[in-house]
Amino acid sequence: MQLLANVLVDGLAYGMVLFVIAVGLSVTLGLMRFVNLSHGAFAMIGGYVAALLTREAGWSFWLALPAAVATTGLLGAALEALVLRHLYRRSELSQVLFTIGLTFFLIAATNALAGPQVQQIKLPPLLDQSVDLGFRTLPAQRLLVLCAGLVVALTAAWTVTRTRFGVWLRAAVDHPDTASALGIPIRAVQCATFAVGAALAGLGGVLGAELMPLEPYYALKYLVLVLVVVAVGGMGSLLGSLIAALSLGIVETASKYLASDWGSLFFFLAMALLLAWRPNGLLSRGARA
Asked if residue 50 binds other proteins (CB under 8 A), the reply is no
We find the least distance from the C-beta atom of residue 247 to other proteins, in angstroms, to be 15
We find the least distance from the C-beta atom of residue 204 to other proteins, in angstroms, to be 20
Q: Provide the mask over 186-225, with x wherever binding to other proteins is found by CB under 8 A and - wherever it is not.
A: ----------------------------------x---x-
CA dihedral (53, 65, 193, 76) in degrees, to 10, reads: 10
How many C-beta atoms lie closer than 10 Å to residue 66's C-beta? 13
Helix (H, G, I), strand (E, B) or coil at 206: helix
Asked if residue 283 binds other proteins (CB under 8 A), the reply is no
Nearer to other proteins, 93 or 181 (CB): 93
Asked if residue 81 binds other proteins (CB under 8 A), the reply is no
We find the least distance from the C-beta atom of residue 285 to other proteins, in angstroms, to be 14
Angle between helix 2-26 and helix 39-55 axes, rounded to 10 deg = 110
Closest CA to 220 of 29, 18, 71, 38: 38
> How far is C-alpha 57 from the chain's CA centre?
26
Rounded Cα distance between 152 and 116, Å, is: 31
Asked if residue 88 binds other proteins (CB under 8 A), the reply is no
Helix (H, G, I), strand (E, B) or coil at 119: strand
Nearer to other proteins, 181 or 289 (CB): 289
Asked if residue 231 binds other proteins (CB under 8 A), the reply is yes
We find the least distance from the C-beta atom of residue 1 to other proteins, in angstroms, to be 29
Beta-strand ranges (E) seen in 42-82 are none
* CB-facing half-sphere around the CA of 35: CA atoms within 13 A: 16
We find the least distance from the C-beta atom of residue 278 to other proteins, in angstroms, to be 9
Interface residues with other proteins (CB under 8 A) are 87, 90-94, 97-98, 100-109, 111-112, 116, 220, 224, 227-228, 231, 235, 261-265, 268-269, 271-272, 275-276, 279-280, 288-289
